[in-house]
Structures are given as structure tokens and as C-alpha cells.
């Protein structure tokens, strides 16, 4: 069974909360992150610390995590973040249109995650892995069909051009949505890896 404990969270002070709050790192481009980094109190300096490094820096290089750890320590030292007095669990709720989900935030063991005791995002249930495979297959067939329609246009099949254009546009949109879905799952897993590396950097 996985270990799950309360923890003493680092939280922004009430006066600094608005400045500290920022969008998640995976929805920001490098240019947007660098613009937000103009605010020295933004948490962007921790979750996307490459904004403080030269352009072209490898996102997974050790200097990125070392910079994030140093920025976090500075925010604590400057009184932007303060540690809770007692270990606590945190309850959160996300509401989107007609869907609501509630979760509990606590601390877990990195060893449990690496050992597979804690199931990874897209592998939470067997159906998740199955869905990922199906989406990749569907995307493959859509790409093949798109290329066929492009070929049909190249040989001037005027009779089918209106149909090809309409269907081609629809397929491009579907392909984009599927690609976005796959990227979201990949980004989430990469985010877990980044968090683990950051935790290790802070600990050491």
C-alpha cells in the first residue's frame, strides 16, 4: 500500500498571493514565461525556471532544476512563501461545465511511484492504456486518409474536390484534437518527472 501523509505546505502570504499565482508551466510558451518572469515574486521562477536561463537551455538539464531550487529557497528567504505551522492535508475541487471532481493533496513516497505502487497517470486503469493505443491508431489512419485526399487533389479529381476539401478540413481538426489529447497525457507524465527531479534537487 502506498504511503500518504499530511505535510507542512509552503504557501504565499496573503499580501503576495496574487503576485505568486501563475498559469501551469505546460500551457505557457517560452516567450510567455520570460514575460511573466519580469515579476520577481511570480512562481514561474520555480515551475519554469528556464525563463531565468539563456534561451535554448535544455529543459531537462541539471541547471534548470538547480535554478528552480535556488529560486524556491530565495522566495522562502524573502518571506514570499511561508511554511504551515502543522502538517495538513489539502482538499481541492475542480469544476468544469457539468463535471466536478474532488481530490486530496498529501505527500507520497518517490520510491512508491518509481516502483509502480502508485499508478501513473495514463496507466491508472487498463482502459487508460487501451484508449491511448486506440487514439494513436485512429490518428495514424486519419493521417493516411489526409495524404490520400491531398493526392486526390493533386491529380485534379474535380468531381470529388468539394467533398475532399470538406472531409480534409474535418480530418485535420480531428487529428489536431487527438494530437492535443496525446500531448496532454505526455506532458502530465513529463510533469511528474520534473516534480520528482525538483524534489530531489531541493532535498539535496
Q: Where are the domains of the chain?
A: 4-118, 122-183
The answer to whether the CB of 203 falls within 8 A of the CB of 72 is no
Collapse the DSSP code of 96 into the 3-class scheme (helix H, G, I; strand E, B; otherwise coil) and give the result. Answer: strand
Between CA 37 and CA 41 the distance in angstroms is 8
What confidence tens digit (pLDDT) does each residue in 48-106 have?
Answer: 999 999 998 888 889 999 999 999 999 999 999 999 999 999 998 888 777 888 989 99
The model's pTM is 0.54
What confidence tens digit (pLDDT) does each residue in 143-153 have?
Answer: 665 555 555 54
Amino acid at each position: 500500500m502506498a504511503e500518504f501523509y499530511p505535510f507542512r505546505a509552503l504557501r504565499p502570504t496573503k499580501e503576495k498571493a496574487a503576485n505568486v499565482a501563475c498559469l501551469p508551466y505546460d500551457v505557457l510558451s517560452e516567450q510567455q514565461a520570460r514575460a511573466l518572469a519580469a515579476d520577481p515574486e511570480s512562481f514561474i521562477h520555480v515551475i519554469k525556471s528556464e525563463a531565468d536561463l539563456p534561451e535554448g537551455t535544455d529543459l531537462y538539464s541539471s541547471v534548470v532544476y538547480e535554478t528552480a531550487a535556488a529560486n524556491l529557497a530565495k522566495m522562502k528567504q524573502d518571506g514570499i512563501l511561508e511554511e504551515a505551522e502543522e502538517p495538513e492535508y489539502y482538499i481541492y475541487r475542480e469544476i468544469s461545465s457539468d463535471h466536478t471532481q474532488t481530490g486530496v493533496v498529501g505527500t507520497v513516497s518517490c520510491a512508491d511511484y518509481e516502483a509502480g505502487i502508485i499508478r501513473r497517470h495514463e496507466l491508472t486503469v487498463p482502459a487508460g492504456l487501451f484508449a491511448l493505443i486506440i487514439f494513436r491508431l485512429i490518428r495514424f489512419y486519419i493521417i493516411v486518409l489526409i495524404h490520400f485526399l491531398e493526392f486526390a487533389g493533386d491529380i485534379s479529381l474535380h468531381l470529388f474536390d468539394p467533398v475532399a476539401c470538406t472531409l480534409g478540413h474535418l480530418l485535420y481538426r480531428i487529428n489536431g484534437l487527438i494530437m492535443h489529447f496525446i500531448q496532454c497525457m505526455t506532458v502530465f507524465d513529463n510533469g511528474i518527472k520534473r516534480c520528482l527531479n525538483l524534489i530531489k534537487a531541493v532535498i539535496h
